[in-house]
Homo-oligomer: A and B are copies of this chain.
Amino acid sequence: MKTIPQEELFHRIEGFQEKLKEKGTDLAVIIQNADLYYFSGTIQAEYLFIPQEGEPVLLVRRGSERAQAESSFKKIIEFKSSREIPNILTQEDIELPEELGLELDVLSYQVATKLQHILEADKLVNITTVIRQSRMIKSDYEIILMKRAANQLKKIPTLIKSNLQEGMSELELSSIIEEHLRLQGHPGRIRMRGLTNEMPIGVCVSGDNAEVPLKTDALCGGPGIHASIGIGSSKKKIIEGEPIVIDFVSNHHGYHVDQTRLAVLGEPSAYLQETYEKSVELLDKLSEYLLPQHTWQEIYEQGKRLAEELDVADYFMGHGENKVRFVGHGVGLELNEFPFLADGLDIDLEPGMTIALEPKLLIPELGAIGIENTYLITEDGPQNLTTSSEELIIV
């Protein structure tokens, strides 16, 4: 069965080819799985060749029948060795490129230089930004998939209410949510761009575990089971009264949606309650700025301003030296897509962007307070895809 509708797929390719033309890139090769799926509808192939003009060619090492079943492309060719590539391209009327476009941010040095050599290209250029720009504006078809992905997360607050118990560890609570997501068709993995960006599908992080510094540019990821992993829920027992960050990423047909809710075992302190209310107000007010007339960095600046107004600026996105310098990120086939709501990015928001907004507060010796929603940018304002109850989950 074809995965991506043919019209949708061809539209993506056309848009991408226009960008290649503007850039002066003769030929692009797509290899990384998220990019490959986006531009072909299958990850069975090893190489997707997209010339500036004309039909793309998929090269499959084995199992071409699977690629044929999944992709709408007609030019699906089995090959044994990369040395055959120039001949195959010539047969398909694709000229060897002067300028070869590759995913140079993720493609290994070994593979990139091998392809340059085989294709006798004068120059390698990075097409990652062009790919990310293509992918950052979601089509109506993609928005339907994103909404289904959001639905996987809908019942998490109810699930916490009926399962969180005294003496439970972060890991135990997390595994209940993981199973719940899996049974809805979550593949149990998420995709994040970059060699060292290894992420669990979600975390339950309690108390000052939220303060553990992370290598990845993220907040409240928790210490993980062990230092060899470095991020995720741990075996720490959840203690009464401490905030528990419930941050999970769904995955439906490859599309991710990101949501955080906050829970507490036993009665929360007045301070925790008040700060929680401030964090929700911060998110609500900030989300109203997710409009096409604002830039990526303006949202981050506005987040900082709102945190000052609410008298929580010291805790906004961390404290002291361990603050992270963003307030949200695009989501889609990867968890770290364009746009990044961060300093220095003077680029407009656009309708069709899907953005996880997460203005979290990190309070020394207490933990993290805050929630996160994923929004769709439209001409008429932001639409919240993550419609789980936003109440503080008190068990």
Contacts and interface: CB of A to CB of B under 8 A. Distances in A.
Interface of A: 3, 31-33, 37, 41-46, 61-63, 65-66, 70, 102, 104-113, 124, 126, 171-172, 174-175, 178-179, 182-183, 185-189, 191, 195-196, 198, 200-201, 212-215, 224-230, 232, 235, 251, 253-254, 321-322, 333
Which secondary structure dominates where chain A touches chain B? loop
A106 B113 CA distance: 13
Given A33-B196, A43-B230, A107-B108, 15 more contacts: A3-B226, A32-B196, A37-B227, A43-B229, A62-B322, A106-B108, A109-B113, A109-B124, A171-B185, A175-B183, A178-B178, A178-B179, A185-B226, A185-B235, A187-B226
Q: What copy number does this chain have within its complex?
A: 2
Contacts of A66: 212-213
Nearest to A333: B228
A102 B109 CA distance: 10
Contact of A63 (B44, B107, B186, B213): B213
Contact of A110 (B105, B200, B321): B105
A93 B363 CA distance: 40
Given A31-B196, A178-B182, A188-B200, A226 B253 contact: yes
A229 B41 CA distance: 11
Contact of A189 (B112, B179, B200): B200
A33 B228 CA distance: 8
Contact of A109 (B41, B112, B200): B112
A171 B198 contact: no
B108 A185 contact: no
A251 B198 CA distance: 15
Given A126-B110, A213-B62, A227 B41 contact: yes
20 contacts: A31-B195, A33-B196, A42-B227, A43-B215, A44-B213, A61-B215, A63-B212, A63-B213, A63-B322, A66-B212, A104-B110, A105-B110, A172-B183, A175-B183, A185-B225, A187-B200, A188-B188, A188-B200, A189-B198, A226-B254
